[in-house]
Amino acid sequence: MNEVPSRAPVGLAPAAGLSVDVEEWYHTCLVPDYVRPDRRPNLARELDWLLPEVLELFAQTGSRATFFTLGEVARQVPQRIREIHDAGHEVASHGFHHLRVGEYDTTEFRQDVTEAKELLEDTVGAEVAGYRSPEWSIRRYDNPKLRVLAEVGYHYDSSLAPYALAGSVRNPRDPCRFHWPAGDTGEASLVEIPPLAYGGPLRIPAAGWTGRLLPGRWIADRAEAALKGGRCPVMVVHPWELSELPTPGRLTGIAGFVHEAGRSGYRRKFVEILRRLPWRSLGEVLSPLGDPPEQEST
C-alpha cells in the first residue's frame, strides 16, 4: 500500500530560482507521435544552436539556472550539455523521454529516471540531484512515483505545479520536504521546489503560454514580491520560447496554441524578468540545506 508522505517546510533563505526545461519544440505530450522516438517523423532540431544563445543571454544578465534535460537530448547533443555545466549552471533530469509519468508503470518509471540520471552524470561528470517530470505529469503530492525519485538517488523534485489542470491547488506553494516512513526500501525523503504561480486562490502558471501572455513586469513584480515576502519564486522557460524564428515544423490544434500563444516578443519580456532579480539555480536555492551538493567535476 502506498502511503501519502508527510511534509514539512524547509529552512531556506529567500532566493529566486531559474529553471530551463531542455527539450525540442516537438517534445509536446499533446502530439504522441512526436514524443515517442519510435513513431517520430524526421523533424528539424533547434537545440544545437538555441542552447548557446540561452547561455549567452544568461551570461549577459548574470543569471544562473537549473537545466532540466531530457536524456534523449543529452544523447543527441552531449557537448551542449557539457557547455551548460562548464558555464556554471546546474544540469538536472527531465527524464529520458518526454512521456507523461502516468504512461509508465512503476518499474518503467524507475528505469526511465535512473537511465536519465546516469547518462547526464556521465555527460557532465557530476552528480545530478534534481528532477522535473515532463508536462508536470506527476501532478499530485500523493503520487507514489515521487518516492521512486528518492529511492534512485534524486535529492529534490520540481514537478508539482500548485494550480489546477497541470497540478493541484493542494500541492505545496513553497519548498518543503516530503518524508515516507520505513517500508521495503527503508525511509525516504525528497525536497519539493514548486514553480511560481500568479494570482490569488485562482492561481495560474507564471510561465508557459499563460505567463507569455502577461506583461513581463507583472511576472517580475510577482516574483519580486514573493522574494521580499521570504519565499523562493521559481521561473520556468523552454529554449524554444526564446527563439525569435518561426517554429521549424507543424503544430496544430491545442498543441499549436500552447506552443505559439504569446511567443512573439516573449524573449524581450523574459529579459525584463531576468534583469529584475538575481536568478540562481535550484541547487543554489537549496544550498543552505546542504542538499543537493554542488556540481563539481569528477
DSSP 168-210: -TTS-SS-EEEEE---TT--EEEEE-PPPEESSSS-EESSHHH
Encode pLDDT of 24-74 as tens digits.
Answer: 999 999 999 999 999 999 999 999 999 999 999 999 999 999 999 999 999
pLDDT number for residue 2: 58
Which grid coordinates belong to 238? 523552454
> 10-14: long-range contacts (C-beta < 8 A, 24 or more apart)?
10/175, 10/176, 10/177, 10/191, 10/286, 10/289, 11/288, 11/289, 12/175, 12/232, 12/285, 12/286, 12/288, 12/289, 13/288, 14/227, 14/228, 14/229, 14/230, 14/231, 14/232
| Residue 195 confidence (pLDDT) | 97
Contact indicator for 64, 281 with CB cutoff of 8 Å? yes
Tell me the pLDDT of the chain averaged across its residues.
Answer: 94
CA 68/CA 129 separation, integer angstroms: 10
**Number of C-alpha atoms within 13 angstroms, CB side, residue 294?**
7
- Is the confidence at residue 11, as pLDDT, over 70? yes
* The pLDDT of residue 232: 96
- Output the pTM of the full model: 0.95
**pLDDT tens across 93-141, in order?**
999 999 999 999 999 999 999 999 999 999 999 999 999 999 999 999 9
Please state, in angstroms and rounded to a whole number, the distance separating the CA atoms of residues 66 and 16: 12
Tell me: the pLDDT tens digits for 284-294?
999 877 655 44
> In this predicted structure, what is the pLDDT of residue 291?
53
Specify whether the CB–CB gap between 140 and 167 falls below 8 A.
yes
Where is 76: in which H helix or E strand? helix 71-76
The domain 7-289 belongs to what CATH superfamily? Glycoside hydrolase/deacetylase (3.20.20.370)
* Per-domain boundaries in the chain: 7-289
* DSSP 8-state secondary structure symbol assigned to residue 167: S
